[in-house]
Amino acid sequence: MEFSFDAPTLLGPMANQYESITEWVNEEQPLRLIDLGAGSGTNSPYGASLQSVAGSVTGIDPEESVLTNPYLNQALCSTAEEFAASSSNTLFDTATALYVIEHLNDPLAFLIAARSVVRSGGSLFVLTPNRNHYFGVSAVIAARLRLQGPLLRLIRNDNDYHHPVAYRANTLHQLSELAKTAGFKQMEVRMIESPHIFYPYFTPRLHFLPRNYSRLVHFNGWTRMAGTILARLR
């Protein structure tokens, strides 16, 4: 079976990224779900919704904060690659990876590991920034200049973040080629362009910038220029 990648669709301007992935996951009604890069669950609107659509949720993350995540039935401090290597008999109906893949230096190894822990016919859902969006371009430039941390602290007044970004799987072409190499047979994509996602990176007086960009994307149908990639890999 050859790899299939249909034309991406652009969700409406009011689409919420977490509601969008939850609704898509819910279509599969998974009994067992694994969240790769689950984190602590702090201030996460996604964790509680996962519990409502999956019978059991396992979460893994290389940081120990995952062990206190209140939305998981089972939590493990591990990378996806480590978990896959040690769990050859553990298969899940569905896997999710929210804002994980943009941080990985080796996204192919991650995708191979993710595929190996999902049963035949199951899916991996990936939510990640689009590198072709102004936010993705800015993040890559800031990371290369080693300005990401200082800029985020200045803009968001946030001292707790940030993990470095690599953006090695963050265009539709990159992600589809990596998915194909990892052994997936199909990729479906729903693009999200919502200015609310990017408001935290602008002062209130500059909110008109992401708002007007979003209007242009939706008015002109610039699907591949939307800010967020939501992909289902099978």
Q: What is the pLDDT of residues 50-85, one digit of tens each?
A: 888 999 999 999 999 999 999 999 999 999 999 999
Q: Mean pLDDT in the chain?
A: 90
User: What is the distance between the alpha carbons of residues 67 and 45, in angstroms, rounded to a whole number?
Assistant: 18
Sites in the chain below the pLDDT cut of 50: none
pLDDT of residue 88: 67
pLDDT of residue 200: 86
pLDDT of residue 193: 98
pLDDT of residue 158: 55
Backbone torsions φ then ψ of 174, nearest 5 degrees: -60, -50
Confirm if 137 and 201 have CB atoms less than 8 A apart. no
150, with CB counted inside 10 A (0-12, 13-18, 19+), is exposed
pLDDT of residue 78: 95
Taking the model in full, what pTM does it have? 0.92
Q: Where are the domains of the chain?
A: 4-233
User: What is the distance between the alpha carbons of residues 24 and 206, in angstroms, rounded to a whole number?
Assistant: 33
Pick the CATH number of 4-233 from 3.40.50.150, 3.30.70.20, 3.40.50.970, 3.40.50.720: 3.40.50.150
Cα 3 from chain centre: 21
pLDDT of residue 145: 66
Q: Which two tokens stand for residue 13?
A: 């301007």
Q: Which two tokens stand for residue 172?
A: 């539709």
User: What is the distance between the alpha carbons of residues 108 and 129, in angstroms, rounded to a whole number?
Assistant: 17
User: What is the distance between the alpha carbons of residues 204 and 127, in angstroms, rounded to a whole number?
Assistant: 26
pLDDT of residue 162: 61
Q: How many other C-beta atoms lie within 10 A of the C-beta of residue 53?
A: 19
pLDDT of residue 44: 72
pLDDT of residue 171: 97
Strands 186-192 and 228-233 come out as antiparallel
